[in-house]
Amino acid sequence: MAGSITRYTLSSGTQVVPVAVGAASRVVIRVSQDTRVANDEGELSSNYFTLAGSSTLVLDPPNLLNDGFLYFRLDSATSGTLEVWLQGCVY
């Protein structure tokens, strides 16, 4: 089973990090600060949900995002960390 773990440093409330998650069967996301998550970059201001700081989210099989992306941006902090573990990747 292929997979990857990536850590991103979020340095401002305007920095957007796109993460391709569609190839994974399971996605584990951890954030250090309150972080907005959307499936379209343009929706990070109006149509998103917030992961609370120090929380972990698991998107378990089946991954219904297909070949899509998730977009992340800090909610109110000025710096933070995003960790993404893609499991069962099909390359």
- The domains found in the chain, sorted by start residue, are 2-89 (2.60.120.10)
Q: What's residue 91's pLDDT?
A: 58
pLDDT digits (tens, 9 = 90+) for 7-19: 999 998 789 999 9
pLDDT digits (tens, 9 = 90+) for 49-86: 999 999 999 988 776 776 689 999 999 889 999 999 99
Residue spans of beta strands (DSSP E) within the chain: 2-10, 17-20, 26-31, 35-38, 49-51, 55-59, 69-74, 80-89
Q: What's residue 25's pLDDT?
A: 86
| Sign of the dihedral through C-alpha 41, 46, 49, 50 | positive
In the sheet that holds 49-51, the strands lie side by side as 17-20, 69-74, 35-38, 49-51
Q: Around Cβ 69, how many Cβ atoms within 10 Å?
A: 16
Please state whether beta strands 26-31 and 55-59 pair in parallel, antiparallel, or not at all (unpaired). antiparallel
Q: What's residue 3's pLDDT?
A: 76
pTM score > 0.85 for this model?
yes
For the chain, how many residues are written? 91
Looking at the predicted structure, is the pLDDT value of residue 2 above 90? no
